Chain A
Amino acid sequence: MLHIVACIKQVPDTKIIKMNPKTNTMDRASAPAILNPYDAHAVEEAVRLKKKYGGIVSVLTMGPPPAVKAIKKCIELGADEGYMISDRAFAGADTLATSYALTKALEKIAKQRPIDLIICGKMTIDGDTGQVGPGIARRLNIPPLTGVNKVVELNKEKGYAIVHRKLEDGYEVVKSQLPCLFTVEKDINDISFAPLPNMIKAARYQPTIWTADDLEDVDRKQLGLKGSPTIVSKVWAPPKPEGGKILTGTKEEQVNELLSIILEKKELFS
């Protein structure tokens, strides 16, 4: 049976988060924790593929205990199973240490039920890197297909997938062996409304939770802050620009002044 695992993350909504101007740190309480928007599309796509080809969709996350809420959201979207790895040993992980811990969890999930396809969001809105998905693929030694915006075909029997990968000015059609890993763009699908039975299931759902000790063959030096080669040395507020000249006068005068400013660049219009 086709087994798809979506890797997801709970993130603060960076669009509305407030910064503490004195310490340049985020005021996490100011922003609600949400399912990373790209990951919602990853789960949606996994569920759509399950509907088309049959199979089972699991979701995996790493995070503190409240991140269970993000898994419940995925159950609402139609995922069947949820796994969470949660341990202080994972804290402070950069993308390299994150992909290591998630890979260890994926190996454990695969022992219970072999995995055909892993789907990740293109990136998270709090980290903005897009590096964890390809990192997992490299560690599992499976092909990464980044920026997928359409799945043309998935063929478990013959062991391949055909997808569109978004390029800067179009897309490419790629065929890959299974198992493989996709990172998906937002335009791959529209999120469906959760049907009532899913909501009820989600409300009661308790994911499988593992600590670092529950994972096998874990090198603790590669976890969390210790396993992270990158460190943040300083943060600062971006320099405030000085501000522009505000045009004055009547609307007609303002527009005329603006017009002459624009038309100074006459090479653009000739």
Chain B
Amino acid sequence: MNFDDYRGIWIYIEVKDGQIAPVSLELLGAGRMLADKRKTELAGVLIGSGVKTLAPILFQYGADVVYVYDDPIFEHYRTEPYMRALLDCCHKHKPEVILYGATPSGKDLASAIATDLPTGLTADTTILDIEEDTGLLLASRPAFGGNIMATILCKKYRPQMATVRPKVMKSLPPDPSRTGRVIEEHIELHEEEMRTKVLQIVRETAKKVRIDEADIVVAGGKGMGSKEGFQLIHQLAEVLGGAVGASRDVVEAGWIDHHHQVGQTGVTVTPKIYFAIGISGAIQHVVGMQNSELIIAINKDPNAPIFQSCHYGIVGDAFEIVPLLIERLKEEIPKIKAAADVKEEIRHA
């Protein structure tokens, strides 16, 4: 394997319902930094049906090149056709690095590609860097349930690959004047040869606020005592118009389903306000919320590690503090709403 043949940083661009997934734009931001350090090009690999028109957006967010595989066979994500397209692209153009969002489909695709090429794959990366002279990718991730951080290298194989946690990297502000090269690719695939078929897609978003999209997340931990005690978390979330989060213990105890779990094995959230109530603050939890704008912790134990990871803390009993807070919020929030309405009326007058 001649490493000099492998050039460029690639981002696998994930498309959902005709839209580029936010994580792909974040990765273009991270990839731009790596490509500049290596003085090489940043490319997006865009696979889908009717996706060619999305290429200009990728240029605005930092890509120099976009490889496009546009075919009805790619309408829904399936491992087999997507893998064949990306492998085709790899064999033709030989990248030095490929990054994928650590999403269900990104992880699925990356695992298949890594096995086939073969090459190394680092999962759920949270810190990325590259050695300018050797091109060695330094992919760091929380390991052993978030107890430690580890830097993983792939010295003997190219391309180097990593999946990257959503909401960790920052996308660049879009630059409408940026353009690049679109390279249209084609691969011969036939539907009748495909071994899987997507029969239906069911979206469940309408039911509740998605925890990773909420502006306010109220998360509770084992300190809430019981499933009944945990209801206080729901009450506070309701008053604030926020989503409910939970620590792993709480999910494992069955107080709430695991869609609400925040942390290394759950969801990463970056809300404007994050409440950690009765949560001790194990690293496995903290890695999933530490980038929140404002973190408020309430815990009985003054030595709980969560107080190291918050902006403001109250040492006290949640069952005394939270009801008081709910009561005061119920008084104050309507006043803010009323003031905003008045402003709105003045503007329209």
Contact = CB atoms under 8 A, between A and B. Distances in A.
In which size bucket is the chain B interface?
35 or more
B333 interface: yes
B290 interface: yes
Nearest to B249: A15
Contacts of B104: 146-147, 165-168
Contacts, number: 268
Contact of A244 (B202, B212, B312, B337): B312
A270 B347 CA distance: 15
A123 B295 CA distance: 29
B202 A232 contact: no
B116 interface: yes
Contacts of A238: 142, 146, 148-149, 283, 286-287
Given A26-B147, A243-B308, A261 B122 contact: no
Contact of B258 (A186, A228, A258, A265): A186
Contact of B79 (A125, A144, A230): A144
A168 B312 contact: no
A166 B241 CA distance: 26
A250 to B, nearest CB: 10
Interface string A241-259: 1111111000110111011
A223 B325 CA distance: 58
B195 A229 contact: no
Contacts of B119: 96, 229
Given A125-B145, A145-B196, A241 B290 contact: yes
Nearest to B144: A14
B264 interface: yes
Which secondary structure dominates chain B's binding surface? mixed
A254 B76 contact: no
Interface string A14-42: 11010100001010000000000000000
A269 B153 CA distance: 46
Contacts of A26: 144, 147-148
B73 interface: no
A142 B146 CA distance: 33
Interface in B315-332: 315-316, 320-321, 324-325, 328-329, 332
B284 A96 contact: no
B154 interface: yes
A189 interface: no
A110 interface: no
Contact of B265 (A128, A144, A168): A128
Contacts of B79: 134, 137, 143-144, 146
Interface in B123-153: 123-124, 138, 142-153
Interface residues of A, number: 82
B122 to A, nearest CB: 6
A2 B151 CA distance: 43
Interface in A176-226: 176-177, 180, 186-187
Nearest to A133: B111
B152 A176 contact: no
A126 B333 CA distance: 44
A126 B265 CA distance: 11
Contacts of A58: none
Residue of A96, A139, A252 with highest tally of chain B CB at under 10 A? A96
A244 B145 contact: no
Nearest to A96: B118
A185 to B, nearest CB: 8
Given A26-B147, A176-B195, A230-B154, A135 B111 contact: yes
B254 to A, nearest CB: 9
Which secondary structure dominates chain A's binding surface? mixed
B145 A126 contact: yes
Interface string B91-107: 00000000000011001
B250 to A, nearest CB: 13
A254 B316 contact: yes
A125 B265 contact: yes
Nearest to A25: B148
Contacts of A96: 114-115, 118-121
B157 A229 contact: yes
Given A15-B145, A229-B154, A251-B321, A244 B199 contact: no
Given A166-B104, A258-B312, A265 B294 contact: yes
Interface stretch (B61-69, B174-182, B203-211): B203-211
B147 A17 contact: yes
B151 A246 contact: no
B63 to A, nearest CB: 23
Given A129-B124, A229-B157, A261-B294, A24 B148 contact: yes
B149 A237 contact: yes
Nearest to B102: A130
A217 to B, nearest CB: 17
B197 interface: yes
A126 B284 CA distance: 12
A233 B104 CA distance: 27
Contacts of A143: 79-80, 195-196
Contacts of B258: 186-187
Given A244-B312, A246-B302, A268-B240, 6 more contacts: A14-B145, A129-B123, A134-B111, A232-B143, A232-B151, A258-B314
Nearest 10 A-B pairs (CB), nearest first?
A14-B145, A270-B340, A229-B120, A134-B111, A129-B123, A230-B120, A244-B310, A138-B115, A170-B203, A170-B204
13 contacts: A24-B148, A125-B265, A131-B107, A131-B123, A167-B201, A172-B198, A230-B120, A230-B154, A231-B154, A231-B155, A258-B312, A259-B325, A259-B329
